[in-house]
């Protein structure tokens, strides 16, 4: 089934409206490309990253309009990565969030153009939302975007993912790829709005650690789910990691060991959050997000 955010959540309602309003798929766009963009922005899932960015940006001083704009930027990067990840030359998926993948409906070329349109709009929205900030802070934000979205981040992680079959297929390589592919987008959601608070070097150290723990935990859960679930229950194509010899922690370590790794990462994240809260109470929203983000994952694994 599609993973839509609960209508009762006021943040989700605001974000869904902002995603529609800021979409590059306006009326003058070629109809097939516009349809692909509409499909992508109308089915954004649980909006975990966007919710985190929005709440963080508000906490650290942005007004609601700029906070929504920055949240849309990060969510568009995420949506673009999914459009590309599902392509036949990548994971060759059929379904995503309970719906047929964009490239299966509109074609590979249109899906690629839609991803590029979202990335282009995301850079513009990020620049708009931060335009009134001091130049030094803006430079740090742009450097964060470059590190997360470039060859040192998600692009490098995806490149290693595609060549995983020729690697040693070790758990270490799996983790390195997860840090690049999954961790970097969480880094944007955590680290980018946190820069607004002008954190100390020690706070930045713990924020980076939290990004890593959350990213690896999320990917570990996704890897386990890929092996044990089916498209009817997960809402997306499963079993691709085994079929395509792609990185999967549960394949590298076995499911019991992957579950132990997941719980250890959750404990490390909790310890990091305690350290951050000891520096300043402004970081408490991260603990609320962890409860919403990791608790369901851990509960699902405990019930399996």
Identify the pLDDT of residue 278.
Answer: 93
Q: What's the CA angle centered on 49, arms 292 and 122, to 5 degrees?
A: 170
Residue with tokens 């390589």, as numbered in its chain: 173
Domain ranges in the chain are 1-132, 152-304
Determine the 3-state secondary structure of 232 from DSSP: helix
Q: What is the pLDDT of residue 232?
A: 65
pLDDT score at 244 = 79
pLDDT of amino acid 227:
87
Instruction: List C-alpha distances in Å: 204 to 63, 107, 210, 266.
Output: 23, 42, 10, 19
What pLDDT, on a 0 to 100 scale, did the predictor assign at position 138?
93
What does the pLDDT read at residue 302?
64
- Residues near 267 by beta carbon (within 8 Å), at least 6 away in sequence: none
> In the chain, which ranges are continuous DSSP H helix?
10-22, 31-42, 48-59, 64-85, 102-106, 108-129, 135-149, 154-162, 171-178, 184-194, 201-228, 231-234, 240-244, 249-253, 255-279, 284-293, 295-303
Return the CATH architecture of domain 152-304: Orthogonal Bundle (1.10)
Four-CA torsion 289, 295, 296, 300, nearest 10 degrees:
160
**Closest-CA residue to 77 (of 47, 122, 43, 108):** 122
**160 is written with which tokens?**
């290693």
Question: Helices (DSSP H) in 152-230: which residue ranges?
Answer: 154-162, 171-178, 184-194, 201-228
Q: What is the pLDDT of residue 2?
A: 38
The model's pTM is 0.89
User: Looking at the DSSP assignment, which residues form a beta bridge with residue 99?
Assistant: 96
Q: Which residues contact 165 (CB under 8 A, 6 or more apart)?
A: 244, 245, 246
Burial 2-35 (b: 16+ CB within 10 A, else e): eebbeeeeebbebbbebbeebbbbeeebeeebbb
Residues 29 and 127: beta-carbon distance below 8 Å: no
Question: Do 152-304 and 1-132 have the same topology in CATH?
Answer: yes
* CATH class of domain segment(s) 1-132: mainly alpha
Q: How high is the mean pLDDT in each 10-residue block of the chain (304 residues)? A: 48 92 92 94 86 95 96 96 94 87 95 97 96 93 94 93 91 90 88 93 94 90 84 68 84 92 93 94 91 77 63
- The reported pLDDT for the residue numbered 234 is 61
């Amino acid at each position: 089934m599609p993973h839509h955010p609960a209508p009762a959540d006021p943040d989700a309602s605001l974000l869904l409206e902002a995603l529609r309003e800021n979409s590059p798929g306006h009326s003058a766009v070629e109809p097939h490309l516009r349809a692909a963009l509409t499909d992508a922005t109308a089915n954004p899932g649980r909006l975990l990253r966007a919710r985190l960015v929005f709440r963080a940006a508000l906490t650290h001083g942005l007004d609601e309009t700029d906070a929504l704009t920055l949240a849309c930027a990060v969510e568009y990067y995420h949506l673009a990565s999914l459009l590309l990840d599902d392509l036949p030359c990548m994971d060759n998926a059929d379904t995503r969030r309970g719906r047929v993948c964009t490239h299966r409906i509109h074609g590979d070329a249109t899906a690629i153009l839609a991803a590029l349109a979202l990335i282009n709009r995301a850079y513009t929205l990020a620049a708009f939302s931060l335009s009134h900030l001091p130049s030094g802070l803006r430079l740090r934000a742009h450097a964060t975007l470059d590190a997360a979205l470039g060859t040192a981040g998600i692009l490098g992680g995806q490149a290693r993912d595609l060549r995983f079959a020729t690697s040693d297929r070790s758990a270490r390589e799996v983790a390195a790829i997860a840090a690049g592919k999954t961790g970097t987008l969480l880094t944007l959601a955590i680290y980018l709005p946190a820069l607004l608070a002008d954190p100390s070097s020690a706070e930045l150290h713990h924020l980076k650690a939290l990004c890593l723990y959350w990213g690896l935990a999320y990917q570990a859960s996704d890897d386990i789910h890929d092996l044990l679930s089916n498209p009817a229950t997960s809402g997306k194509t499963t079993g691709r990691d085994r079929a395509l010899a792609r990185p999967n922690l549960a394949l590298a370590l076995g499911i019991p060991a992957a579950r132990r790794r997941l719980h250890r990462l959750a404990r490390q994240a909790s310890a990091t959050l305690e350290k951050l809260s000891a520096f300043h109470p402004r970081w408490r929203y991260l603990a609320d997000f962890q409860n919403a983000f990791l608790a369901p994952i851990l509960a699902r694994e405990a019930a399996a």
